[in-house]
Structure formats: structure tokens, C-alpha cells
Structure 1
Amino acid sequence: MKVSSKFISIILIAVATNSYATDKKVASSHGIDYPMGWQNWSTIAVSHRTDNNTSRVILGNNIAVEAARSGKTNPWPNGAILGKVVWKDTELKDWKSATVPDEFVHAEFMFKNSEKFKESYGWGWARWVGLEQKPFEKGMQVCISCHTPVENMDWVYTHPAKFPK
């Protein structure tokens, strides 16, 4: 199987992300508390957006990872939290056909709770911007509007990557 250099660089991002931890207090976003310890969650998938040249690592808490690995994601179970960590891409200096993370853009999360988030399709949506992790100011409707094309996939774009057993 041929593995693209872009995929390899994104996997390296995931490894680097999982080794970072923070103790700082971060303000809530859309009334949702910052999920402390997300930097140690497992990778569910990676993605690359060509429209804005960003690389993304999609992480999950234990509930989300178990659902992803077992294919039980439509719907995702209550208690699942998905995190998407986003960086701008830049060309790798010593390997021109590869891109690597550059500027950190944001970390965004989806919290599955069918009761608590009834009015937002069972999901709480939150985003923190920049390395300072400032709460996203524009409200959950921005997130919901973006995810409308995948409402038949429980509002989630992520296609979990297959991992060997």
C-alpha cells in the first residue's frame, strides 16, 4: 500500500499532539467547558482541506474512539467527544512533496449528549482559537450550518480511519 507524504506528516502531528499537556484555565465556548486533557486522546482520523490549506487531526475521548473502532458512529453514542485540531500547512523545507503543520489555527470539539443538546441535534459545539485558546465568539449556529450537509451521518464529517487490530 502506498502511503502519501501528506498522510505521514499528519500522523506525525497526531503523535506530537498526544505528547502535549496543559494545566491552564481556559474560558468556556458557547457555555461548554474546555475539555482538559484532550491532547492525550487517541487519533480517530486525519484530514486535509485543500480549500484553505489546513491539516487536521481528529481525536476522540475513550467513548468516541471505541465507537469509531467498532463502526458504531451513526449515531455516535452519548458521552462521545470528538476534537479536531487544525494547523495551516506549509511545505516541508527538505521534502518538497510533503506539507507539515505551520501556524496553529484552532481546536474545535463536538460533545454528544442527546438530552442536554436537544436543540442542536444532540451535539454541543465549541471552538477555541489560536495557541491562546480564546473561545470562538460566533455561536453554535455557525457550526451547525457548516455541518448540515452531513446531518444524515449524525452531523459528523469524520470518516474514522481503519486501524489494524
Structure 2
Amino acid sequence: MFKGPFPLFRNTRVISGAAFGLVLVVLGGVALAQQDKYALNVPGGLAFSEFRGYERWQLVSTSQTDKAVAAILANREMIEAYLAGIPDNGKPFPDGARMAKIHWIPAENEFFPDTIVPGSQHDVDFMVKDSKRFADSGGWGWAAFKYDVATDTFTPATQSDEPPQANDAKCGFECHTIVEKRDYVFTKYAKR
């Protein structure tokens, strides 16, 4: 038994050590529970990891409906193609061009009630130009991943989602055929 002049410090150290251990266990459990979104993919081989860093890509444009507020982002190859006049000049986007479209549920701005801003994230959609890999879908591959706010996780979208997704890398082709002359890309680069 400890017989020094400060027995209280011994108990405090034991309690502190136990508390520190508990904190490590909790934090370790949280880290294990967090999803690695970059491990996800859709049938047909399009993976979330192909869009790593999309959160920092340059803005192409925005869009808004009564159901969603969206930001359309593009990687450097796609931005350079837009700046070179593609697709308005009739040329196709180069292989490696990528876009991400992040959708949020519309929300009222708390300071300006007549202003709509992004609320909770709804999903993220991706498209990549790879004319060899996706030769039978206009050279583009698509993927949609819905977001669950409660669990902070993504899952591949399905036919039961809004809008319905075929849940494969060619899920966007049918919809995008109406802009075939624009190399299957709806979004115009917003002038700035």
C-alpha cells in the first residue's frame, strides 16, 4: 500500500489513466465506424475513389429546383476544355475530364428568409470521360451516391431513389442523350 504523504495523487493517477483509456477506446470506435467513402463503387466499375478531391474542384455552375440546390464542380482537365470552348465548338471533352454535382435539400437562409441556401446534403453525382471504358455510353461513365445525414455515409443510388438511378456506370446515358451534340454534357460553364 502507498504510504507516501499524498495518497490522493495515486488514486487520481489511476482514475486519470482509466479515463484516458476510455477516451482512446471511444475515439477508436468512432474512427472505425466512420465510412471510407472512397471504397464505394457502382456496378460497371466506376468508383468514388476516381473522384478523390472533388470537394476542392473549381465551380462550373450552380442549379436549383424546388427539390435541390446543386453545385457542379470539375477537375482541371474539364475546366481547361470548357475554357478552350468545348463543347460549344463541337469538339468532345478529353478523356480524364471529370465532373461532380453535389445536391443539397433547399433551406431558407436564417438571416434572409427569401434566400434559398443548401441545407442537408442529398447526394453526389459523378461523371468521367473515358472513351475506351465507356465506349457504349457516349464515352462517359456515371455514378450517383446518396447521402444519409443520420449516419454520415454514402451508398450507391438505386431505381427507388429520386431521380431513379440504374445503379451502374452507364446510369446517366439515357438521360444525357438529349445533349449528344454537347458531348452528353448539360452544364454550361458559367461566365465569371
Quickly name the TM-score band, shorter chain normalised: 0.7 to 0.9
Q: Distance in 1 between matches of 2:181 and 2:119?
A: 33
Q: 5+ unaligned residues in a row in structure 2: which ranges? A: 1-34, 159-165
Deviation of 1:23 after TM superposition, in Å, equals 6.5
Q: Which amino acid is the alignment partner of residue 157 of structure 2?
A: F
Separation in 2 of the partners of 1:75 and 1:113? Answer: 11
- In structure 2, relative to structure 1, the CA distance for the partners of 1:26 and 1:129 (3 Å cut) is farther
> Does the Cα contact within 8 Å between 1:45 and 1:159 map onto a contact in 2?
yes
Further displaced range: 103-112 or 72-81: 72-81
The equivalences for 1:2-17 within 5 A come to: none
- Deviation of 1:78 (Å): 1.2
**Structure number with bigger Rg:** 2
Shift of 1:125: 0.6
Q: Secondary structure at the match of 2:181?
A: helix
Comparing 79-88 with 69-78, which one deviates more in the overlay?
69-78
Match of 2:69 among 47, 55, 59: 55
- Paired residue type of 1:143: G
Establish whether residue 139 from structure 1 lines up as the match of residue 167 from structure 2. yes
Q: Give 1:56's aligned amino acid.
A: A
> Comparing both chains, which one has the higher relative contact order based on Cα–Cα distances under 8 Å and sequence gaps of 6 or more?
1
In terms of fraction of residues, the more helix-rich structure is: 2
CA distance in 2, matches of 1:25, 1:116: 20
Indicate conservation of the 8 Å contact 1:48/1:54, yes or no: yes
Alignment: residue pair count: 140
Q: Provide the rounded CA distance (Å) in 2 between the counterparts of 1:95 and 1:112.
A: 40
Q: CA RMSD in A?
A: 1.9
Is 1:41 aligned to residue 70 of structure 2? Answer: no
User: Which residue matches 2:119?
Assistant: 102
TM-score (norm 2): 0.66
Where structure 1 has 5 or more consecutive residues not aligned to the other structure, the ranges are 1-21
Name the structure where strand makes up a greater proportion of residues: 1
1:1-165 aligned within 5 A: 24-30=37-43, 31-34=45-48, 35-50=51-66, 53-73=67-87, 74-130=91-147, 131-137=152-158, 138-140=166-168, 141-163=170-192
